[in-house]
Amino acid sequence: MSRDLSEVIGRVLPAPENHLSPELLEQARKARRSFMGKALAMGAGAMTATATATRALAAEGEDVILNLPEHTTGLGQPVAALGYGQPSKWEANLQRRESPGLTRVSQASVSFTPLQGLFGIITPSGLHFERHHQGWWDIDPSKHRLMIHGDDGMIKRPRVFTMDDLMRLPSVSRIHFIECGANSAPEWGNVALPSVQYTHGMVSCSEFTGVLLSTLLEMCGIDRKKAKYVLAEGADGSSMTRTVSIEQAMDDCIVAWGMNGEMLRPENGYPLRLVVPGVQGVSWVKYLRRIEVGDMKWATKDEAIHYIDHMPDGTHRQYTGIQECKSVITTPSGSQTLLDRGYYNVTGLAWSGRGTIKRVDVSVDGGRNWRTARLEGPILPKALTRFNIDWVWDGKPAILQSRAIDSTGYVQPKINQLRAVRGTRSIYHQNAIQSWLVSENGEVSNVQVY
Ligand SMILES: Nc1nc2c(c(=O)[nH]1)N[C@H]1C(S)=C(S)[C@@H](COP(=O)(O)O)O[C@H]1N2
Ligand SMILES: [Mo]
């Protein structure tokens, strides 16, 4: 960009739930309204109006830069009062939230990650989404055990591990996304949830630390000829039990105790969870207590009745675990407001359960024209990948979309392409292109483009 950015830079008013206090939000809206008035009055000279508005803001700011506030002249705090650090109080609106449309059924609940307020690819642990089928627990690690066993000699040395036993073993630390299979499910119908937090906030990405499941299975003497599947079971009341293929189990599954450099948070499975990279969240069994090796799928309740895909012909598909290639623009996104015309860094996330992200294209005209976005490193397999692209908003309505392509060549589909194959009765695996409408007044909302 050769132009002087200060003349054209646009500012995003975040979704109300993020970052700005209600007072600041109202201030910004007022500034926006007076800018719109000026811009309207100046007609074709709108770009000048933007420059005027920007200079007005700079002049306002000069008071701040000239008058030294107390924090520049006084004594600061010695060390953080709490032993464990907390975010700035100014960031109090950046929170996990329960979706407006979802009813909480007893302890079966979901909280969503505020993707609109995050940078890079790592989800801070305190903002990692949660999905509990029967509530969460803070389990005493000294009493937690993991049993590995299998009939017919499939496991020659069955064993019960303590946490200490496990944490002495050779470990790995790897960055992976976890996405609930039901992420973006309301888009199957025409339910337009207001913000990216609710449309896509059941995806998070962390560095997980633990012992490879293959290491444990080999230690226990797995019979590779007989073994075809493993069953993972959790220690909570949801009887969460999921079949994982032996290929995946021996490949990159991790029996993890660490998340982002510290022990797992209780709500994310402390002290032990299974990490099944690329596969829907439900297989990432929390409070992991048992691994059984077998030669048939178990067809447990969470794979025979739930987590199935209803097809248009009335049949249903089972064991569709992989999270296919998907992406979403996180800023500007639903419920945010563009405060003026000019330059924006359009940014978002892309991921694929089958490998790495190869390319992300962005459209600002509802899919007629596409430009290739910049991918931000690191680009890791089965992890979130950040993309960015320059955009100068001319003040006219625009429809922003992103379309990801993964290392297998798979192209993220449009919603009508997905519906043509899958119908509209599904809950899971909705990975269509997401569309955000930017209206003339700068407000961004969720729309579907066919
Ligand atoms: N033991 C147990 N494991 C579980 C669940 C559960 O309720 N109990 N929920 C599953 C579902 S449906 C998802 S999407 C992920 C959510 O993981 P998180 O709460 O760490 O985000 O955990 C999975 N593992
Ligand atoms: Mo889930």
The alpha carbon of 179 and the centre of ligand 2 are apart by a number of angstroms equal to: 7
State whether the beta carbon of 240 lies less than 6 angstroms from ligand 1.
Answer: yes
State whether the beta carbon of 133 lies less than 6 angstroms from ligand 1.
Answer: yes
The pairing of strands 203-212 and 254-259 is antiparallel
Count the alpha carbons within 13 Å of 225 in the hemisphere toward its beta carbon.
3
State whether the beta carbon of 132 lies less than 6 angstroms from ligand 1.
Answer: yes
Q: What is d(CA 318, CA 307) in angstroms, rounded to the nearest whole number?
A: 7
- Summarised one tens digit per residue, pLDDT across range 120-158 is 999 999 999 999 999 999 999 999 999 999 999 999 999
Q: What is d(CA 289, CA 281) in angstroms, rounded to the nearest whole number?
A: 17
> What average pLDDT is seen over the chain?
89
- Summarised one tens digit per residue, pLDDT across range 25-35 is 667 667 666 65
| pLDDT for residue 427 is more than 50 | yes
State whether the beta carbon of 182 lies less than 6 angstroms from ligand 1.
Answer: no
Per-residue pLDDT, 49: 32
Per-residue pLDDT, 39: 42
Paired residues of 294 in beta bridges: 229
State whether the beta carbon of 242 lies less than 6 angstroms from ligand 1.
Answer: no
State whether the beta carbon of 328 lies less than 6 angstroms from ligand 1.
Answer: no
Q: What is d(CA 183, CA 189) in angstroms, rounded to the nearest whole number?
A: 13
Domains of the chain (ranges, CATH numbers): 5-48+323-449 (2.60.40.650), 125-317 (3.90.420.10)
Q: What is the mean pLDDT of residues 156-168?
A: 98
Q: Whose CA is nearest to atom 21 of ligand 1?
A: 130
State whether the beta carbon of 136 lies less than 6 angstroms from ligand 1.
Answer: no
The alpha carbon of 203 and the centre of ligand 2 are apart by a number of angstroms equal to: 10
**How many Å is the maximal CA-CA distance in the chain?**
82
DSSP 279: B
Ligand 1 binding pocket mutation candidate from 104, 111, 131 (most atoms within 8 A of CB): 131
Q: What is d(CA 437, CA 422) in angstroms, rounded to the nearest whole number?
A: 25
The alpha carbon of 428 and the centre of ligand 1 are apart by a number of angstroms equal to: 15
Asked whether the bond before 16 is cis by omega within 30 degrees of 0, the reply is no
Per-residue pLDDT, 72: 86
The alpha carbon of 359 and the centre of ligand 1 are apart by a number of angstroms equal to: 30
| pLDDT for residue 52 is more than 60 | no
| pLDDT for residue 182 is more than 90 | yes
State whether the beta carbon of 344 lies less than 6 angstroms from ligand 1.
Answer: no
Q: Which ranges in 296-438 belong to alpha helices (H)?
A: 301-304, 415-422
One-letter amino acid of 346: V
Confidence of residue 1 (pLDDT cuts 50, 70, 90): very low
Q: In percent, how much of the chain has pLDDT > 90? A: 75
Q: What predicted TM-score, i.e. pTM, was given to this entire model?
A: 0.90
